Structure 1
């Protein structure tokens, strides 16, 4: 499972609030199952950007397509967005006993 975070901005760089982002499976173009957490709670699809133009979701490793639309926005399709969880599934979540060992503190790879 991979968390994806992105910001939608207009050509001047200003964030676009309330844009719709449909997440589809690529290349099928069918709506993807996305989550609001690490694979437990299904999120609505399409998503809506917040006041900072940001949206986020979790999804299984794979290839996705984003269809971005909304008021005063030219609908844009982004194809073949690859999501890959680079952390191994068996990475321990408890603090390592010695320095220099990687560990997963719930989403951020840290080194102690």
Structure 2
């Protein structure tokens, strides 16, 4: 189970977007089960951003889709959000030559 933290900002002004809706789906499927802690306390899905435009959740390892919407913002869909507790030992540690490959970018999972 991994914690995911991010924020929503207005693309024109850069100011945080309060009360935006963040729907978290299992990639290609239904709404994901979200937690406030390590799999004990479930939280609402969709989430709502706070006064700083931030949102956070914990979810089981897997690939997710985020759909962000709200008043006065264009709906955005972010696909292939990968949550993993630990990076696999066999991931390359340098940028792969081809695009779309996972790699260990200094301890963070990245896609080339």
Q: Which residue does the alignment assign to 1:68?
A: 68
SS at match of 1:65: strand
Q: Where does structure 1 differ by over 4 angstroms across 4 or more consecutive aligned residues?
A: none
CA distance in 1, matches of 2:49, 2:58: 15
Structure 2: distance between partners of 1:72 and 1:13? 14
2:78 alignment counterpart: 78
TM-score calculated relative to the size of structure 1: 0.74
State the Cα distance separating 1:5 from its structure 2 match. Answer: 0.3
1:9 pairs with 2:9: yes
CA RMSD of aligned residues (A): 1.1
Deviation at 1:38, TM superposition (A): 1.4
d(CA) in 1 for partners of 2:25 and 2:69? 14
| Aligned counterpart, 2:28 | 27
Between the two proteins, the alignment pairs up a number of residues equal to: 86
> 2:16 and 2:50 mapped to 1: Cα distance?
9
- Bigger strand share: 2
TM-score, normalising length: structure 2:
0.74
Pair 1:38 & 2:38 matched: yes
